[in-house]
Amino acid sequence: MKILVDMNLSPQWCPALRKHGHECLHWSEVGDPRARDAEIMEWARRNGHVVFTHDLDFGTLLALTEAAAPSVIQVRTQDVMPAALGMMIAGLLRIHEDALAAGALIVVDEARAMVRVLPLSR
């Protein structure tokens, strides 16, 4: 799976996800660090990447635009480093591979993950 890590998450996520067989880019490698969320979403959609973020605005963008892509994984935890969440995220990517390929929003906190199929309805 191809993952695009948003600016609000550490570039350390890329080697952590590559260990589990995923292609991974940090937004700082491909775009302007000050880019708007809509630009990041459009790049991910055009290039077939899942957005991995700590920013709640991506879910809002998906809902407002009723977009069917890109898929987004949104973490809602205090500790967002790979040492704390790496195994959980790797497991979610494996378990929900089909949903992410089809278009999904996955919201992750310490206790659970909620999966919603895209497009999100208002």
Tell me the pLDDT of the chain (122 aa) as tens digits: 999 999 999 999 999 999 999 999 999 999 999 999 999 999 999 999 999 999 999 999 999 999 999 999 999 999 999 999 999 999 999 999 999 999 999 999 988 999 999 998 75
Q: What is the pLDDT of residue 21?
A: 97
Q: What does 60-91 look like in DSSP terms, one character per residue?
A: HHHHHHT-----EEEE--S--SHHHHHHHHHH
CATH number of the structural domain 2-117: 3.40.50
Q: What is the pLDDT of residue 111?
A: 86
Count of CA atoms in the C-beta half-sphere (13 A) of 33? 6
The model carries a pTM of: 0.96
